Structures are given as C-alpha cells and as structure tokens.
C-alpha cells in the first residue's frame, strides 16, 4: 500500500492567485479592521478598543455625517433597484425578441458606457447638465420645456438623484447582459409547451420567463447592492470630496475618503477612516448574508 | 556596505574639498506647483546656479491635490528631496513637530520677513520658523474695463455703490453682473466670505480675537458677511448653483461677465485668456471712509528636509530665497503671487501692481480659518465652504450658519467652550 501522493501541482496552480489576492485584498482588509481599533496620541499609535466606533456613532456630529451618508447610500441603491434593474430586464426582453433587427448594435451601444471610466462619465455628464455650456438646457428649450430645467447637480434636493440616474445610465448594460444571457438559456420547448396551453405574449413573459430568470435577478440585486455601497468614484469625479452641495451627495465612500485621507485643511485620520471602512464592510456583509441565507436558499431552481 | 562607505567618502570629499568638488551637490525641490515648472527651469534655477557655482537644483513638482499625501510618504520612506515646499499652517507645522523640517530661525535673510509673513510657518509660540516665506495671494475683485465703460459705471468704493453697479449691469442685461458659482463651494468661501469678510471683522483684530475666544462666530461681524454674500445671488448667472470654478473663469475671460470675485493668483491666467482690458478693485468698505482691510494670504514657503545630506548647500539656497533677487524674479514671473519679503519689488504687470498697491492703503490680514481653528473635526475651513455656499443659495439664514459653525468649533476648541 502506498499513501496517495500529495498533489503538489494543485498548490502550484493556486499559489499565484492566492498570493496576489492575499497581498492586495485579504491582508489590507484585516489590517483596516485592526487599524480601526487604534488611535494616534502624541504621534504614537495606541490601542483604544471600540472607542473610534463610540465616536462615530455617539458623537452627534460624526453620527449625523454617518447617518446622512448611509441614508444617501440607501437612496442611491433604491434608485438603482427601481430604475436600473427593471430597465435592464426590459431591454433584455426586447433584445431577446427573435424579430428585432440590429439587436447586436443595440446590445453593444447600451453596454459601451459600462466600460467607460468614471472620470469620463462624471465629467461628460457634468458638461451635459451644465447651465452654461451644457446641451441639456438647449435641448429642453428646443421642445419648449425650458421651464423644467434646473441646475440639478447644484441643488440639494436633486443632486443625489441626478447622480444616481447618471450611474444607472452607465451601468444599465450589466443587468441587461446578465438577464439576456439567462433568457437565451430558456429552452424553446418550454415556451412551445406553454403556447400549446394557451400562454403567449406578455403572459409567457410573466408566467414562464420571469420565474426562470429570478435567480439572475437575485444575483444582479446583490451585485448592485455591493457596488452601490462601495461607490465613490462617480461622486468624487462629479462633486469632489466634499460631496456638495452641502453633503447632499455624500455617501459612505466619500465620507470614508475624506476622513481617511483628509481634505484641504483637514488632516487625514487613518484610524477614524478605518472605523468607517469597517462599518461599510459590516453593512455590506449583513446585506449579503441576508440575501444568501434569506433569499438565495428559498429561490426555486429549475433543471432543464 | 561598500556603497555606504562610498557615500561617506563622497560626503567627506564634498565637505573637505569645498567649492572645487561641489559640483556633486544637487538639491531636489519638492513642490505642488507644477504650473511653475517652466519658471523654475528657465529663470530661477539658472539665476541661482550662475551666482552659486557648485550647487545644482532640480525642481520635481507633483500634482497639487496629491502633494501632501505623496510628500508624507516620501518623507517617511526617506526618499524626499532636500527642499520641501511648505503649505501654510498646520500641514507644515505637523512636519516640523515630527522632526521632518529643520528650524531655520537663524537663517541670515530671515530678517527680511515681517512677523505676519512668517506666522504661517512658525510654532504657535513663534519661537521657531521652519520655512522661508515665498509668496502670498491677495483677494479682491477683477472687472472688465470695457464693460464698465459701456454701461457707464464707476469702480465702487463702498458696499452700497457695489450693489448699485451690480444693479446697473442687471438692468442693462448684456453682461452677467457677477461671475461666480457655488458648485465647488470653495469659491463661495474663499472669493466670497474671506474676500469681503476682513472689512467686517477688522482684519487681524477680529481674527486674533476669534482664536483667543474673545469673539464668536455668532457675533455680528462674523455673521454679517454671510448676509452680504447672500445678496449676491440675484446678480450671479442662471443656474449658478451648478456653475463650477472653471465655468466662472471662462465666463469672465470670454467677456460675458462684468465682475469676477478673485484672488490675485488668477492674474497670469486671465492675462493670457482675456482680450479686453481688466482692472481690479479692493473689497468695498461698508461705510464711506472706513479703514479698509484686505486678505493678503500667506500661501507658499520653502523649508529644509531634516534628513537631507546637503544641509549647508540647502541653507545657502534658502538664504537666496530670502534675497531681493529671488523676490523680484518670482514676483515678475508669476504676477499675482506677491513676495512676502520687505524688499521693495518692482512689478511690471499693471493688474498685479494694482493688487499690491492695496497693501499701502489697507490693513493686511490672512484668511480667518487657517491658523489653529481648522485643526479639529469638524474642520472650520471645510465647514465655511459649505456655509458660504448655503448663504448664497439662501438655504440657511446667516444666523443659523453662524450658530452651526460656532457649535462645531466649540465642540473641540477649548477657548470657545467658555
């Protein structure tokens, strides 16, 4: 009897990914969690336990900033859920229609913004919406709706929604592609069997296709959730680190950036910044867990 | 080991052999002023190297927004240049307290600078000065002379006249009276509040009283400027809420606006962009005959990296920075950045000359939020940005803003907790 040989090649093949991922993701993540438990006093790093979190949630100013950012983040997420994902599903349903011509062109055109840099998207939309050089006011006045125009990015009440919609414009291609792929995997036989039973047209979509793509919608929702609660770039590119006007577009990402790295005269505080990053991590973790254990396990799967 | 002994050997020969071997000394300068690269390479460096054979200079700027972060990591890693361009107040003070910058109080040409000029790069008690002041920027208003002639208005002296001029432009309709937006927030604070404010809080008197805690941000003189800038809103362009800083600059230099609330740093850019004649006027006083106050803000200085191996050569250079030759070269190459030294510098640019002439007529002060008061969280400077934008947009009343700022300051600053 010979003991089975240790399969060295598995280790060798896994090593690059594990090493790189550990070095640039896992180690920084745990180090950030650790950093949140320290503070700096007299240029020495001292352990303070959960003191930073007590400041973050207990001090009225820190707490107000935090809840403001969290609330904005939820609004940002909500807009994506009610605008981006239904539109993505609709576009996918239209694209998968067998008689649509130029489907490839539409698919590409709608997906292209997704691969653009945030900086380009932020800057372009800022110009489009600019009251001075932008084409938005001119376009509206061309159809006689000039009165509807407002300097959206500069108004507290509209700025966040506007940016959320810009982000929707950029990323609507992702749910569209995922749903499109899911729709393509539905076998013709099922639809034909439905037709025999008298289910055609819209009701075929609601009664056959939608239940079959629900798992994909679940995945998209969780991707949207994680992406939105990690968002930072678009707000930073369009409104700067102060997330103006008057912090109305401040989300957790910009709040963390400002605290961690400092801004203008404000010196950076890596320890409070880490505390915020830890809170973000916790929120995302809880959200993902709710999805995985509460929803994912209850979704019914169909095997064809 | 061998490379280390080699560097010791080189250092020893440099020190012993003196000028004959001094070609070896190259000083690297860290800076955020990448706009000034050409100026350094074509004017300052040749001028210095001509008069100081044996010392070579290498100007290596980085992007302004990243400068502080890059510099700090370079200093920690020991790879920073010999000379460090200093931001005013706390950023540099923190470096000095960490032992990263050398005390330069003993430098010969330091005598050429006044106490106010040095205040931005001193310890709180003024005992040590760690950077040689280079330049300041002055606030005021730049106006389109052609537009003023066309509409037939005079340069305003008092606030009432200022609003009359704005009203005339509004009636006339061919120019946006005031080129400013609130999108970037800092314009509202820096070119609005800090520009006209010193006339209300009486410059240094109010600023120092605020630091001591004798005055509060809820006092009339600190709240009134918010009420005044709130009255600017009707004269700003359509959709000013989303107008950015570059938008404002372009509107003015394209000749579409009459008055631009400015800082003198705009002069060089405006000279190359605008094809009409420009003039400048100082912040209008409240009542005729009042003493005028201007914000003459200490902005840039240069210090010595404590870890630099070339201390003597670097000190020689820093001494030159305090000289009249440097002041004249710098002020003329960069109109709008005014020398902080006591040398009588002649400037050729008429707009810059206009700005600097106010130093003789008015009392100078610096931005109220920069010294000490922006050390804690919430940060008074950043809060002032938001407050100024809110005042102009009218989303909060001046009294509410004053109270909010005072509460924020009092939450961490002991002199305001009484």
Global ipTM: 0.78
Q: Does A151 contact B374 at a Cβ distance shorter than 8 Å?
A: no
Closest CB from B69, B97, B411 relative to A261: B69
Residue A297 in this model has a pLDDT that exceeds 90: no
Question: Quick one: B181 and B125 in the same domain?
Answer: no
Q: Is residue A93 part of a domain?
A: yes
Q: Is residue B359 part of a domain?
A: no
Q: Is residue B361 part of a domain?
A: no
Question: Quick one: B175 and B83 in the same domain?
Answer: no
Q: Is residue A34 part of a domain?
A: no
For residue B77, the model assigns a pLDDT of 84
Q: Does B198 touch chain A (CB under 8 A)?
A: no
Question: Quick one: B267 and B183 in the same domain?
Answer: yes
Q: Does B386 contact A153 at a Cβ distance shorter than 8 Å?
A: no
**Torsion B46-B47-B52-B55 (CA) sign:** negative
Tokens 């013709």 sit on residue: A188
For residue B70, the model assigns a pLDDT of 80
Higher pLDDT, A229 or A242: A229
Q: Does B160 touch chain A (CB under 8 A)?
A: no
Q: Is residue A98 part of a domain?
A: yes
CA of B238: which chain A residue's CA is closest? A131
Residue A276 in this model has a pLDDT that exceeds 90: yes
Q: Is residue A252 part of a domain?
A: yes
Question: Quick one: B285 and B374 in the same domain?
Answer: yes
Question: Quick one: B52 and B197 in the same domain?
Answer: no
Q: Does B241 contact A133 at a Cβ distance shorter than 8 Å?
A: no
Q: Does A242 contact B241 at a Cβ distance shorter than 8 Å?
A: no
Smallest CA–CA distance, residue B241 to chain A, in Å, is: 4
Mutation choice for A interface testing from B69, B186, B233, B239 by most A CBs within 10 A? B239
Closest CB from B184, B385, B408 relative to A61: B408
CATH number, position A84: 1.10.3720.10
For residue B76, the model assigns a pLDDT of 82
Q: Does A265 contact B382 at a Cβ distance shorter than 8 Å?
A: yes
Q: Per the structure, how many domains does chain B have?
A: 2
Per-position b or e across B86-124, b if 16+ CB within 10 A of its CB: bbbbbbbbbbbeeebbbebeebebbebbeebbbbbbbee
Mutation choice for B interface testing from A151, A163, A237, A272 by most B CBs within 10 A? A151
Smallest CA–CA distance, residue B257 to chain A, in Å, is: 12
Question: Quick one: B256 and B175 in the same domain?
Answer: yes
CATH number, position B168: 3.40.190.10
For residue A304, the model assigns a pLDDT of 62
Per-position b or e across A89-109, b if 16+ CB within 10 A of its CB: bebbbebbeeeeeeeeeebee
Tokens of B81: 């240049």
Q: Per the structure, how many domains does chain A have?
A: 1
Average pLDDT over residues A6-24: 92
Q: Is residue A76 part of a domain?
A: yes
Smallest CA–CA distance, residue A294 to chain B, in Å, is: 40
Question: Quick one: B231 and B126 in the same domain?
Answer: no
CA of B93: which chain A residue's CA is closest? A267
Query: What is the Cα–Cα distance from A36 to A48, expressed in whole angstroms?
Result: 9
Question: Quick one: B221 and B370 in the same domain?
Answer: yes
Q: Does B88 touch chain A (CB under 8 A)?
A: no
For residue B292, the model assigns a pLDDT of 93
Domain ranges, residue A142: 59-298
For residue A29, the model assigns a pLDDT of 93
pLDDT for B205-251, tens place per residue? Answer: 999 999 999 999 999 999 999 999 999 999 998 889 989 898 999 99
Q: Is residue A294 part of a domain?
A: yes
For residue B18, the model assigns a pLDDT of 44
Q: Is residue B132 part of a domain?
A: yes
Q: Does B186 contact A264 at a Cβ distance shorter than 8 Å?
A: yes
Q: Does B242 touch chain A (CB under 8 A)?
A: yes
Question: Quick one: B6 and B71 in the same domain?
Answer: yes
For residue B354, the model assigns a pLDDT of 92
Closest CB from B185, B369, B377 relative to A244: B185
Higher pLDDT, A134 or A82: A82
All residue ranges of chain B with pLDDT < 70 are 1-24
Q: Is residue A39 part of a domain?
A: no
For residue B25, the model assigns a pLDDT of 87
Question: Quick one: B62 and B46 in the same domain?
Answer: yes
Our separate counts of H helices and E strands in chain A read 16, 4
Backbone angles phi, psi at B96, to 5 degrees: -65, -45
pLDDT for B320-341, tens place per residue? Answer: 999 999 999 998 888 889 988 8
Helix/strand/coil (H/E/C) assignment for every residue in B25-37: EEEEEEECCHHHH
Average pLDDT over residues A68-89: 95
Question: Quick one: B169 and B25 in the same domain?
Answer: no
Angle between helices A270-289 and A27-35 (to 10 degrees): 120
Question: Quick one: B370 and B330 in the same domain?
Answer: no
Query: What is the Cα–Cα distance from A52 to A36, expressed in whole angstroms?
Result: 7
Query: What is the Cα–Cα distance from A297 to B116, expressed in whole angstroms?
Result: 69
Q: Is residue A112 part of a domain?
A: yes
Q: Does B369 touch chain A (CB under 8 A)?
A: yes
Domain ranges, residue B22: 2-136+298-349
């Amino acid at each position: 009897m010979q003991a089975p040989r240790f399969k060295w090649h598995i280790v060798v093949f896994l090593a690059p990914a594990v090493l790189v991922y550990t070095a640039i993701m896992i180690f920084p993540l745990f180090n950030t969690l650790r950093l949140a438990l320290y503070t700096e006093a007299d240029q020495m790093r001292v352990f303070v336990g959960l003191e930073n979190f007590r400041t973050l949630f207990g001090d009225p100013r820190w707490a107000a900033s935090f809840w403001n950012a969290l609330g904005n983040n939820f609004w940002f997420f909500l807009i994506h859920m009610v605008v981006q994902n239904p539109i993505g599903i609709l576009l996918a349903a239209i694209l998968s229609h067998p008689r649509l011509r130029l489907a490839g062109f539409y698919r590409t055109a709608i997906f292209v913004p997704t691969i653009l840099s945030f900086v380009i998207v932020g800057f372009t939309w800022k110009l489009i919406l600019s009251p001075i050089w932008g084409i938005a006011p001119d376009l509206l006045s061309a159809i006689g709706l000039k009165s509807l125009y407002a300097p959206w990015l500069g108004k507290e009440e509209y700025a966040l929604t506007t940016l959320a919609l810009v982000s929707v414009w950029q990323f609507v291609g992702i749910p569209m592609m995922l749903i499109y792929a899911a729709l393509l995997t539905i076998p013709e036989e099922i639809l034909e069997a439905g037709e025999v039973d008298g289910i055609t047209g819209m009701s075929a979509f609601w009664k056959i296709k939608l239940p079959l793509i629900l798992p994909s919608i679940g995945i998209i929702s969780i991707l949207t959730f994680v992406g939105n609660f990690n968002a930072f770039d678009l707000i930073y590119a369009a409104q700067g680190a102060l997330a103006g006007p008057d912090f109305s577009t401040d989300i957790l990402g910009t709040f963390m950036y400002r605290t961690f790295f400092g801004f203008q005269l404000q010196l950076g505080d890596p320890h409070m910044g880490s505390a915020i990053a830890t809170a973000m991590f916790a929120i995302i973790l809880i959200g993902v867990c709710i999805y995985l254990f509460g929803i994912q396990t209850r979704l019914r799967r169909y095997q064809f | 080991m061998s490379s280390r002994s080699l560097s010791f050997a080189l250092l020893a020969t440099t020190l012993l052999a003196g000028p004959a071997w001094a070609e070896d000394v190259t000083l690297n300068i860290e800076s955020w002023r990448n706009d000034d690269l050409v100026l350094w390479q074509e004017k300052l460096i040749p001028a210095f190297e001509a008069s100081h054979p044996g010392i070579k200079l290498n100007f290596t700027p980085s992007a302004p927004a990243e400068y502080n972060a890059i510099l700090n990591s370079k200093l920690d890693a020991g790879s920073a240049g010999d000379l460090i361009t200093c931001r005013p107040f706390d950023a540099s003070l923190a470096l000095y307290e960490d032992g990263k910058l050398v005390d330069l109080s003993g430098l010969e040409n330091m005598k050429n600078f006044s106490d106010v000029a040095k205040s931005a790069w001193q310890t709180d008690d003024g005992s040590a000065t760690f950077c040689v002041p280079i330049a300041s920027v002055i606030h005021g208003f730049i106006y389109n002379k052609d537009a003023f002639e066309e509409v037939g208005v005079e340069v305003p002296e008092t606030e009432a006249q200022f609003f009359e001029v704005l009203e005339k432009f509004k009636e006339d309709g061919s120019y946006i009276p005031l080129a400013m937006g609130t999108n970037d927030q800092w314009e509202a604070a820096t070119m609005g509040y800090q520009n006209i404010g010193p006339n209300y809080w009486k410059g240094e008197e109010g600023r120092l009283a605020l630091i001591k805690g004798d005055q509060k941000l809820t006092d009339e003189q600190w709240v009134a400027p918010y009420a005044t800038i709130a009255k600017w809103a009707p004269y700003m362009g359509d959709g000013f809420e989303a107008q950015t800083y570059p938008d404002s600059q372009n509107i003015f230099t394209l000749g579409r606006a009459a008055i631009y609330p400015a800082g003198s740093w705009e002069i060089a850019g405006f000279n190359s962009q605008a094809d009409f004649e420009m003039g400048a006027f100082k912040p209008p006083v409240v009542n005729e005959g009042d003493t005028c106050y201007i914000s003459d803000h200490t902005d840039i200085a240069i210090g010595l990296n404590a870890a630099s191996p070339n201390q003597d050569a670097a000190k020689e250079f820093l001494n030159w920075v305090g000289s009249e030759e440097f002041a004249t070269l710098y002020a003329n190459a960069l109109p709008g950045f005014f020398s902080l030294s006591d040398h009588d510098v002649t400037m050729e640019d008429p707009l810059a000359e206009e700005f600097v002439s106010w130093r003789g007529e008015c009392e100078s002060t610096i931005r109220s939020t920069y010294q000490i008061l922006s050390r804690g969280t919430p940060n008074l400077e950043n809060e002032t940005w938001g407050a100024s934008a809110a005042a102009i947009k009218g989303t909060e009343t001046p009294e509410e803003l004053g109270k909010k700022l005072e509460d924020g300051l009092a939450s961490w600053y002991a002199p305001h907790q009484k």
